[in-house]
Amino acid sequence: MSLQVRIEQHGGPEVMQLLDAPELAPGPGEVRIAQQAIGLNFIDTYQRSGLYPIALPSGLGQEAAGVIAAVGAGVTQFRIGDRVAYAGGAPGAYAAQRTMPVDRLVQLPDGVPAEVAAALLLKGMTAYYLLHQTVVIKAGDRLLVHAAAGGVGSVLVPWAKSLGAEVIGTVGSEQKAAHAQRYGCDTVIIYGQQEVAAEVRRVTGGKGVDVVYDSVGKDTFAGSLDSLRPRGLLVSYGNASGKPPAIDPGTLMQKGSLFLTRPMLAHYIATRAELETAAAAFFQVIADGIVKPEIGQRYALDEVQLAHRELEARATRGASVMLV
């Protein structure tokens, strides 16, 4: 038997129940992973609450790392004992053991501990595509990064700095401002205390930024549009405060022929080659010391409700993991 988190219905953190389930034998093309660490991502809260509806009953969780404990028929590229991680796919990572198709697994480099991969692989591959594919960031670009002290922010900000960008970050508190500065932000705005677009105009001499990375959504969307230079790009990639409002395309014209995109990691790592490229790029920025992996919170699997409460209450900084 093996512990896993299940939900029968959408709702608050209390709908997550830790159950004992039978250990499944891996099917053809699958392996069973003895998981050591499980990543917590804001998307898990959307799938739990129903903001992103999923078929119920269901497991939860997008990413984890551990050791291969059993191998199914036809698997040749991985062996028992290999250290692996995954990010994305069907929810169900909140578990002590998990069977997974091998085409979604990546090998862990020796220098990357399981808890680092579990906490940061999804966030790291997200930072990769946001900075290198959604738009190609180059030296001198000015960026506004919302939730700069959060999990994705803790990777996106130092990576953007290494490309020569100037980074303005937003955070919810003075304490988080110190973390955002440590991650490399040139300027930090505390939204709630300061008006974001006005501050951005002040800092950029009235010009506005080239790109806004907005994962907060509802509360920041309008200010993000107003922070852009003419023909700037708004990358709306999350909804931590709720879904952004619907927008009339004419608004983009009025505010300076702006561009708007709403990307999602799954569409950038759809093929095996894309997955391997994104994971390798992330492991490389760790190896190069550009991203210094940091885990802000560690929980036990049976503290999953507490972990979600803290994530949704904005009480976390950087990345969070559950240890098995």
Chain residues that interact with ligand NAP, rule: CB under 6 A: 41-43, 122-123, 126, 147, 149-153, 171-172, 176, 215-216, 219, 237-241, 263-265, 312, 314, 316
Q: Least separation, in Å, of the C-beta of 62 and ligand NAP?
A: 9
Q: Least separation, in Å, of the C-beta of 23 and ligand NAP?
A: 29
Q: Which is nearer to ligand NAP, 253 or 266 (CB)?
A: 266
Q: Least separation, in Å, of the C-beta of 316 and ligand NAP?
A: 6
In whole angstroms, give the CA distance from residue 212 to residue 223.
Answer: 10
Q: Least separation, in Å, of the C-beta of 1 and ligand NAP?
A: 30
Q: Least separation, in Å, of the C-beta of 269 and ligand NAP?
A: 9
β-strand pairing of 187-190 with 259-261: unpaired
Q: Which is nearer to ligand NAP, 32 or 48 (CB)?
A: 48
Closest CA to 298 of 36, 74, 31, 33: 36
Q: Least separation, in Å, of the C-beta of 321 and ligand NAP?
A: 12
Helix ranges, the chain (H) = 42-49, 114-129, 151-162, 174-183, 196-203, 221-226, 249-254, 272-287, 304-312
Q: Which is nearer to ligand NAP, 133 or 251 (CB)?
A: 133
Q: Which is nearer to ligand NAP, 166 or 214 (CB)?
A: 214
Q: Which is nearer to ligand NAP, 31 or 167 (CB)?
A: 167
Q: Which residue is nearest to ligand NAP (CB)?
A: 150
Q: Least separation, in Å, of the C-beta of 80 and ligand NAP?
A: 31
Per-position DSSP letters for 1-29, written without gaps between them: -EEEEEESS--SGGG-EEEEEPPPPP-TT
Q: Is the peptide bond before 57 cis (omega within 30 degrees of 0)?
A: yes
Q: Which is nearer to ligand NAP, 63 or 166 (CB)?
A: 63
Q: Which is nearer to ligand NAP, 43 or 85 (CB)?
A: 43
Tell me the three state secondary structure of residue 110: coil
**Are residues 37 and 320 in contact, defined by beta-carbon separation less than 8 angstroms?**
no
Per-position DSSP letters for 250-304, written without gaps between them: HHHHHTTS-EEE---GGGTS-SHHHHHHHHHHHHHHHHTTSS---EEEEEEGGGH
Calculate helix-pair angle for 272-287, 151-162, nearest 10 degrees.
Answer: 80
